[in-house]
Structure 1
Amino acid sequence: MVRLTLEQTAREAAPAGCLATFLDLSHRSFTDVSCLGSFKNLERLDLGHNCLVTLEGLSACTNLKWLSVIENKLVSLKGAEVLSKLQVLNAGKNKLTRIDEVKSMTSLGALILNDNNITSICKLDPHHQLNTLVLSKNPVITFGDALVNAKSIKKISMSHCEIESIGSSLAACVELKELRLAHNKITTIPSDLAKNTKILNLDLGNNLIERESDLKVLSELRYLRNLNLQGNPIAEKGTLAKKVMKIVPNLRIFNAKPIEAISQNENSGKGSKLKKDEEMPDRDPIDSNTEKKEKRKRSKQQVQSPEEPAAKDTPPAATIAAPVKSALSDSKKKKKEKVVTEQDKSSRPKSKDDKASFDDTEGKAKKESKKKKSANKGDKDAGGIDDTEVSFAELMFSGDGGVPEPMPKDKTQATAVDGKFVGGLVIDHTKKRKKAKGTPIDASDLKQLCSAPEVGAGGLSGWD
């Protein structure tokens, strides 16, 4: 048993002493903090990661507004019921089974009780300032009438519980903007959810929803931006995304994917199917056979030209005269070679001066041939990466150097690795041509490169 003493608290609170308004006593293995009664000016107190079993020692700290007792061994919140000014209470990761003491904390704005053993929620009628309620990872079966008059609540997280139905429990929560009910046993989306018209984020993943008729309610949620239905039987149908996009036209994220990406994938799938149909149309076997025969005839006609007749048409006299002609052609070749060698000998330089002039002319000829080759090569490359007429924004290529890809709208998808980009890639030239001077830069290219990506509403919240 480790008891907190006045001397220790005085050291922590120095130089303010008993007038201190904030104390951090986390990670100390304390089991008793009854000496804090003399610190009546405390407004913020952190007792997280200790071994507290009760909060009775805090009954004198009536000015507390912020209290964290996360990861202790609390079985109840007894001793904290007198903290009427408390605005934030974090008692997550304890062994709580009931939260009746919360009824008197009428100033609460955020109540965080995740990872406990709570089975039911007490009425939160007097909590007119309650903004956030986190009860995830508790064996709660139903909401009951806990939130019947909770008109100011904006965020509810009750994921990983045992909730079977929502019903009309949230009908009064007209200011609700974020509702997380993933990993439960919910079978239907209630029609009363239409009263929560201000919902931005709705997470119903990993439940038992299977009827498409339940999706009609979503059309009333005109501000809905982020929807998750993954892990439900209804999500196994491939047409779900299309139906949801029709019902909720303002949706930006569906099943953790941007709507733009989903629509692009669908369009690309349609395009590939159309291309295959165009490239491989339905043909009759008779037509294909006739086409093959015509191709064979054409190839034979090309081979058998009028100047070079086929072996069948040649007379026997021509076959006898063939070796004689070859012999004559060989003799002519030998004579030409002799003439060429004599010309080379005559053209060779006799003196040192003549030799130097000969080397210069030969070097100039080689340089000219190299220039011609490089010019031809540049003409070949001009239609590809180094084309100055193509804008920089269009010159996006895949990592394997293959088919061009469009520039990713979300610039965060590209990650830099050794000067190159992986994901939606920028060009890495191995052979670069200098761009002509004075070529104007397109204004649309600059907008695509410099504009910041639009961030969709409805990301993961930091409070859960």
Structure 2
Amino acid sequence: MAILNTKQVLKDNKTNNSNSITSLTLTFKALSDVSCLSDFNNLEKLDLTFNSLSSLEALKECVNLKWLSVVQNKLRSLKGIERLTKLTVLNAGKNKLNSMDEVTSVITLRALILNDNEITSIPKLDRMKELNTLVLSRNPIQEIGESMEKLKLISKISLSHCQIQTIGSSLKSCTELRELRLAHNSITNLPDELVCNKRIRILDIGNNFIGRWSNLKVLSSLSNLRNLDLQGNPVAEKKKLARKIKKLVPSLQIYNAKPMEKIMENEDGRINDSSADAGDKPEVKKPKHLDHTKGSNSMEHHVAGPSKDTDVDGNQEYFMEKKSKGKRKKGDVEFPDIAKKRPTFEDLKQNGNNSGEDGKSSYLNPDIKNNLLPDKHETKESSKKKTGEEVQRKKRVKNVTIDDGEIPFSAMFTADITENAASQNESLKKSKQEIHSAGEVVTFPKNKKKIKRGNVGASALQSLLPANEIGLGGPSAWDD
């Protein structure tokens, strides 16, 4: 508990004249008494969020206030607000108010936010003709009644998480209404009077008790509707409801917080149509060359996806990934059953060496084969001449199997980039040694250009992944 002091306010604002202050932010100060604010005659904006105020009587002298926030205090009444005849925005959410009758006399209000209180009924707001935003969500309000009959300019209404059972004709006069949120109530029907609200663009009636298709037919009159939420209603469980909704409201873009186009594609079976047969198996796609530098946008394929080849009988099959249950030995590679007999590793080696001679292609993708099987033109003498690093690199490539789930996806890119850098450094060292062995004087420029290298590891992987889509049909940002 704390009492606001005029001297302290002037000191914090670096002034000696209280009339020069038009805006004050006094949040998180545990204030219980702000009576000294009567000295600030020109105060227009006041933020008292997160304090311990139990009354607004101390503000009745601040007659020039236009913007007031008293969120998260201990208010049980709005008494004292009647004197603020210039007030346009009032946010008194998250208090203990059980009535809102005092605000009806503040006819200048344009935005009234009283969410998360204990208000049980809405008084007539017919005098508040300039009101355009009304937020009463999370209050035990049971009916709207005739409270909004003359609110012709209101454009946003939130009555979510209340106890409303019917809408009736209560919104008939709200012809400028564009956003209506009635989620988490006990509504069973959308009334025919909703036809008067033709400007509605966002309608959230999720988690109610609407069970029949006939209860939704009034939606056909909402030609400007772009965002509709029905999830949580019994009617939303019916198959291919999205198709009926789209025919009813052709302008609809977001349905149940998802793009309407994607929902329609899923219902038509054009996306994931093989998921019923495949179960939890990853989707098989057409292969790409084994090139780690290009990256991959899918976390399901550890290297470069499946490779497509022709088997002995001329039938096209896919080289699919398959997880191994036992421990692998170096050089082991697992393959699916392409023919009746599962080929052994010796068969694959023989097939790889004879590829192209009989007009039939190998079981292996050429890029994988070159890494796993020895070149038929390679002699023993040439292999001995290879450097130690090249031999070690080839061994590491041999040990990487396509279905190795223990190897992180980013390591595929990291290893390739590191090997390229190591080979460049090795070739540079060799060239220097050859020049020095010739007995010549060699000079190198001081300002050598540094070779730019891409990000290695998780940062490189992050740049390859698609950006997340966000913001489609989410909750309202103004009723929190």
User: TM-score range with shorter-chain normalisation?
Assistant: 0.5 to 0.7
Q: Compared with structure 1, are the counterparts of its residues 234 and 23 closer, same or farther at alpha carbon in structure 2 (3 Å cutoff)? A: same
1:12 and 2:12 aligned: yes
Shift in Å at residue 419 of structure 1? 10
Q: CA deviation at 1:13?
A: 3.3
CA distance 1:257–1:222, change in 2 (3 Å): same
Q: Within 5 A, what are the aligned runs for 1:80-95?
A: 80-95=81-96
Q: Secondary structure at the match of 1:31?
A: strand
TM-superposed CA distance for 1:20, in Å, is 0.0
RMSD over aligned CA atoms reads 3.8
Cα distance in 2 for partners of 1:76, 1:260 equals 48
Deviates more, 1:8-17 or 1:119-128: 8-17
- 1:146 deviates by 1.1
For residue 131 of structure 1, report the CA deviation from its aligned partner. 1.3
Distance verdict in 2 for CA 1:24–1:126, change over 3 Å = same
1:269–1:371 distance in 2 versus 1, CA, 3 Å: closer
Q: Residues 97-138 of structure 1, C-alpha deviation per residue, up to 9 Å, x if partnerless? A: 111111121111111100000011111112222111110000
Question: Does structure 2 retain, via aligned residues, the 8 Å contact 1:12–1:23?
Answer: no
CA deviation profile, 1:36-90 (whole Å, cap 9, x unmatched):
1010100000111111111111111011011010011101011111111111101
How many Å apart are 1:159 and its aligned residue? 0.5
Which letter maps to 1:7?
K
Q: Distance in 2 between matches of 1:99 and 1:54?
A: 14
Looking at both structures, which has the greater relative contact order when contacts are Cα pairs under 8 Å and sequence separation is at least 6? 2
- Taking a change above 3 Å as real, the CA distance of residues 227 and 42 of structure 1, as seen in their structure-2 partners, is same
CA contact (8 A) 1:200 1:458 kept: no
Tell me what 2:251 maps to: 250
Contact 1:252 1:457 in 2 (8 A): no
Post-superposition CA distance 1:264-285 (Å, at most 9, x none): 1122269958x99xxxxxxxxx
Deviation (angstroms), 1:147: 0.5
**Match of residue 281 from structure 1:** none
Identify if the C-alpha distance between structure 1 residues 193 and 457 changes in structure 2 by more than 3 Å, giving closer, same or farther.
Answer: farther
Per-residue deviation, 1:371: 13
- For residues 191 and 76 of structure 2, the distance between their equivalents in structure 1, rounded to whole angstroms, comes to 35
Give 1:160's aligned residue: 161
Alpha-carbon distance in structure 1 between the residues aligned to 2:26 and 2:57:
16
The answer as to whether partners of 1:225 and 1:457 remain within 8 angstroms in 2 is no
| 8 Å Cα contact 1:127/1:150 also seen in 2 | yes
Q: Is the 8 A contact 2:265 2:271 kept in 1?
A: no
Given the superposition, is the C-alpha separation of residues 271 and 162 from structure 1 closer, same or farther in structure 2, using an over 3 Å criterion? closer
Query: Displacement of 1:11 after TM fit?
Result: 2.0
Q: Which runs of 5+ in 1 are unaligned?
A: 277-368, 383-399, 403-416, 422-427, 430-451
SS of equivalent residue, structure 2 residue 96:
coil
Identity %: 52
> How far off is 1:239 after superposition?
2.7
Asked whether the equivalents of residues 152 and 173 of structure 1 are also in contact (C-alpha less than 8 Å), the reply is yes
Aligned residue runs from structure 1 range 30-429, under 5 A: 30-268=31-269, 272=273, 418=410
Kept after mapping to 1: 8 A contact 2:266/2:272: no
Higher Cα radius of gyration: 1
Q: Distance in 1 between matches of 2:476 and 2:140?
A: 22
Q: Give 1:462's aligned residue.
A: 477
Report the AA paired with residue 21 of structure 1.
T
- 2:341 is matched with none
In the other structure, the counterpart of 1:390 is: none
Structure with more helix by fraction: 1
Q: Distance in 1 between matches of 2:131 and 2:51?
A: 27
Q: Distance in 2 between matches of 1:131 and 1:79?
A: 23
State the Cα distance separating 1:194 from its structure 2 match.
1.0
- Where does residue 394 of structure 1 map in the other structure? none
- Counterpart residue identity of residue 13, structure 2: A
- Give 3-state SS (helix, strand or coil) of 2:36's partner: helix
How far residue 456 of structure 1 moved from its aligned partner, in angstroms, is: 8.9
Q: Deviations over 1:388-435 (max 9, x none)?
A: xxxxxxxxxxxx999xxxxxxxxxxxxxx95999xxxxxx99xxxxxx
Letter in 1 for 2:232: G
CA contact (8 A) 1:80 1:101 kept: yes
- Give TM-score, length-normalised by structure 1: 0.61
Output the CA distance in 2 between the equivalents of 1:91 and 1:247. 39
Q: Deviations over 1:153-205 (max 9, x none)?
A: 11111110000100000011111111110000111111111110011110101
Unaligned stretches of 5+ residues in structure 2: 278-352, 368-400, 404-408, 418-466
How many pairs does the alignment contain?
319
